[in-house]
Chain A
Amino acid sequence: AQKVTQAQTEISVVEKEDVTLDCVYETRDTTYYLFWYKQPPSGELVFLIRRNSFDEQNEISGRYSWNFQKSTSSFNFTITASQVVDSAVYFCALRSYNTDKLIFGTGTRLQVFP
């Protein structure tokens, strides 16, 4: 069975702190995709990153970085120098090849205080 676990329910930080959101996944597929989405209060899921199972290179995009480790089935997300605008619920998700079905974790609510 496929499963995504986000053990951190809620994280609170002060602006400019670095914060890491954890994601652990389970799948028997050899080809799969991992995603991070941001959900602001408006409700729309905003795509942040997609990673396929054959690409374990870490990625950095501005203040965001992602650490994909297949050996530990983890796909963690770090925000450097957090800002108040980063406050949102963040979801990690897993998708098998050849389907649009996403398996989401329960989300991590990040609150960044000024």
Chain B
Amino acid sequence: DAGVTQSPTHLIKTRGQQVTLRCSPISGHKSVSWYQQVLGQGPQFIFQYYEKEERGRGNFPDRFSARQFPNYSSELNVNALLLGDSALYLCASSPVGTGTGELFFGEGSRLTVL
């Protein structure tokens, strides 16, 4: 079975631009979470979506938004990019989103903002 897949794997943007990152969860998983990992730090929680509804939001500005589609895939959007948005963006999926199971992570999308 395929794991969590993310696209694109690498991308370069300039300040002020907008970016969309995509995530396909493991088949059968209904919960998707997004994390930002700045170089040298641990991942920071951005969003959780379960059954297409937002379940949780981390301490990120409104420039960050996300959504989940009927097939449980998800997109993370970041508007008005800043240099500080340069990071590895990780997507994780779990079966029910209630915290009782493992979270499975993708390999991430590495965003560089110039």
Contact = CB atoms under 8 A, between A and B. Distances in A.
A45 interface: yes
A8 to B, nearest CB: 13
A43 B41 contact: no
Interface in B30-54: 31, 33, 35, 40-45, 48, 50
Interface in A61-114: 91, 93, 95-107
A95 B98 CA distance: 10
Given A47-B103, A99-B48, A104 B43 contact: yes
Given A43-B110, A47-B103, A100 B43 contact: no
A57 interface: no
A16 interface: no
B88 interface: yes
Interface stretch (B11-19, B60-68, B70-78, B89-97): B89-97
Interface string B75-114: 0000000000000101010100111101111111010000
B58 interface: yes
B42 A101 contact: no
11 contacts: A35-B102, A43-B108, A47-B102, A91-B43, A96-B99, A99-B55, A101-B33, A101-B45, A102-B45, A102-B103, A104-B43
